[in-house]
Amino acid sequence: MSAEHLAFELSKEFLESIVQAVERKDAAFIASSLEGVDPADISLLLDEADSEQAKYVLEVLNNEISADVIEEFEEDTRKEFLNELSSEEIAQYIEEMESDDAVDAINDLPVRTREEVIAAIKDEESAAHIQELMRYDEDCAGGLMAKEMVVANVNWNIQQTIEEIRRQGENVEKLYSIYVVDDNEKLLGKVSVKKIILANAKTQIKDIYDEDIKSVETYLDEDEVADIMQKYDLVAVPVINLQGKLVGRITIDDIVDVITEQAEEDMQLMSGISNDVEEDDSIWAISKARLPWLLVGLIGGTFGAWAIGFFEGDLEKNAALAFFIPLVMATGGNVGIQSSTLVVQSLANKSAFEESFGRRVGKMLLVALLTGVVLAAISFGIVLWWKGGEEGLPSVVAISLICVVMLSSFMGTATPLILDKFGINPALASGPFITTTNDILGIIVYLAIANLLLL
């Protein structure tokens, strides 16, 4: 099957035909149209339909596929959809999900409904798993893990382990390694599926298991889990509690989502969008997410205006001075963002050998001096050619640029490092706050230098 076949006919026409089938209650047509279509694709399709239509379609499909479709819904769609269902109906779908996805879905529900749904789950083990997982914060290893995994006691042989795989088979979709524990469920190591396949039925687990296993503790932050799985190229990582007891497993698909969300969040922080919004959210939601930082920018701009006001006299004497305010300001802004981005990225790829604060800032200032001198020389030439040298304007612009580039580099380098020290996402430093600050500083530096040199 090629890539073309992957992206099957998810066209508006196909959606339309499904919607029409829903309206005439044509279950047979829906079932045959969606036969063999991946739940991820059905989910994309139903994201565009309304909740009642989606409800009918999912009733036509079998519960297992419907549960997969619900898992794949975007959060907004899922909330809206689950709202249409009774607690019993939700519980039916929840029972088909892996425990981590079940908890994600339940967390979308109003608090009161959650209890009802859990009470309506028939399988006691599932209910217990869900209740256990709900204790953990969403953003830590405990909140990412699922209870589904194959665990072998160290005293078993291969035959017993295969029986356990058979027993767990239905629940564990993704089988990569079998985790080995002692009688107290303490994690000891793992056996790869390859070894299981190649071993003799009588072989003892204790003779073949691999003690060299990476694991994470329940409280570990999701970003750190992502770093570890990425660094060691893991497809799954076992989760242990403080006593070393194996309590769950995190698979790479959840971590890929964490990495993607993190990148999106950083990008939004950099661009001054304060809530997690998407282009297809409502006009009001988007405006609300955008206004706070725009207001910060407006207030910053007012301070900038006030700073320029100080130098009103200079501007009245020499209006040409105003011409270069945007140039100095924009250069400062660009330099600040460049610096902070480099620092943010190197903070994201933390190595064991961090440079000290002083060395980093020192190096960035050298880069700033070099780029500042180049920019100053070029701008000196431009201003000299355009305005002539008599009023000293070329020197004012050139000297200001060097100072502003140095200052913005310092701010752009120091701010993310300081934010990071306080546990705040350093990407914030590439956003409108630092840009606004740099703007105001740039204006003051430029006009102050003009005032000193021209008067």
Q: Which stretch binds a second copy (CB under 8 A): 79-87, 115-123, 124-132, 342-350?
A: 342-350
Which residues does 30 contact at the CB level (< 8 Å), separation at least 6?
A: 18, 21, 22, 56, 57, 60, 61
Q: Which is closer to a second copy, CB of 34 or CB of 329?
A: 329
Take residue 175 and report the two structure tokens written for it: 């089988």
Among 60, 90, 109, 270, binds a second copy (CB under 8 A): 270
Among 134, 315, 453, 454, binds a second copy (CB under 8 A): 315
Among 25, 122, 135, 363, binds a second copy (CB under 8 A): 363
Q: Which stretch binds a second copy (CB under 8 A): 23-31, 86-94, 121-129, 370-378?
A: 370-378
Q: Which stretch binds a second copy (CB under 8 A): 109-117, 130-138, 360-368, 418-426?
A: 360-368
Q: Which stretch binds a second copy (CB under 8 A): 20-28, 115-123, 201-209, 319-327?
A: 319-327
Take residue 195 and report the two structure tokens written for it: 């070894």
What is the number of residues in the chain? 455
194: contact with a second copy by CB under 8 A: yes
Across-strand partners of 245? 186
Q: How many angstroms separate the Cα of 6 from the Cα of each of 1, 3, 210, 359?
A: 7, 5, 38, 51
Q: Which is closer to a second copy, CB of 295 or CB of 424?
A: 295
- Find the binding residues for a second copy in span 41-60 (CB under 8 A): 44-45, 47-48
| 193 contacts 177 by C-beta, under 8 angstroms | yes
CB of 4 to a second copy, least distance (A): 9
Take residue 22 and report the two structure tokens written for it: 């829903």
- Find the binding residues for a second copy in span 287-306 (CB under 8 A): 287, 290-291, 293-295, 297-298, 300-302, 304-306
- Find the binding residues for a second copy in span 380-399 (CB under 8 A): 382, 386
Among 116, 132, 217, 391, binds a second copy (CB under 8 A): 217
Using CA atoms in the order 39, 43, 44, 47, what is the torsion angle rounded to 10 degrees?
170
- Find the binding residues for a second copy in span 236-265 (CB under 8 A): 240, 244, 252-253, 255-257, 259-260, 263-264
Q: Give the C-alpha separation, 129 to 99, whole Å.
A: 7
Among 329, 396, 411, 450, binds a second copy (CB under 8 A): 329
| 105 contacts 70 by C-beta, under 8 angstroms | yes
| Residue whose pair of structure tokens reads 């430093």 in the numeric block | 429
- Tell how strand 216-217 and strand 151-153 pair up: unpaired
The beta strands (E) that lie in 35-159 are given as 151-153
